[in-house]
A and B are shown apart, each in its own frame.
Chain A
């Protein structure tokens, strides 16, 4: 297992376009998390899944954002009608049920630039 994979690494899009990011977690991990990080700040939680169920969504996740995790495997995060304020690094992480005592494994992120 090579860890958590995110695709693409970089995405430049025009304002108003839709974008979709993919995250492949560690296969044995049933929990998957999405975070967003802007320059100089720590990662901010967006949403998380346990298997295929989306269990929590942050207030940061406006109705333009949607995340899915079909069959409890990979996950996608879609942003519709992108705005310049959506420019950030989008991070995915996975963990098993012990994540609150043990670690999360993060991917390298997808850097989104909205022009």
Chain B
């Protein structure tokens, strides 16, 4: 799977939108973009994934650049409960049985 680059940390005020960036300049045409988050003392939690089009679900939105070399996870109104480490991971359609590979992610702090 191709590599991703994320900032080590970000900070947001409560009830403000948060945009978490991810660069993946070596993405291939069949790579899916997955986001997971990990709350303190919990296992990672699936957030959202997409291939080419922007995606929305109850947790977040995923905006994918037209050239697919970057993407942004959008939390529309950050709450204290959103403080977590967010991981951006690429999953190739040809990954076969290759398990998820996590980087260090972005640690999001939310300030009340």
* Count class of interface residues, chain B: 20 to 34
A104 touching B46, Cβ below 8 Å = yes
- The number of chain A residues with a CB under 8 A from chain B is 26
When distances are taken between beta carbons in the complex, the residues of chain A under 8 Å from B85 are 42
When distances are taken between beta carbons in the complex, the residues of chain B under 8 Å from A107 are 43
Most A C-beta atoms less than 10 A away, residue of B99, B103, B105:
B99
When distances are taken between beta carbons in the complex, the residues of chain A under 8 Å from B42 are 106, 108-109
A45 touching B100, Cβ below 8 Å = yes
B103 touching A42, Cβ below 8 Å = yes
Q: List 16 A-B contacts (CB under 8 A).
A: A35-B102, A42-B87, A42-B103, A45-B100, A45-B101, A56-B99, A100-B91, A100-B93, A101-B93, A102-B46, A103-B46, A104-B36, A104-B46, A104-B100, A106-B42, A108-B41
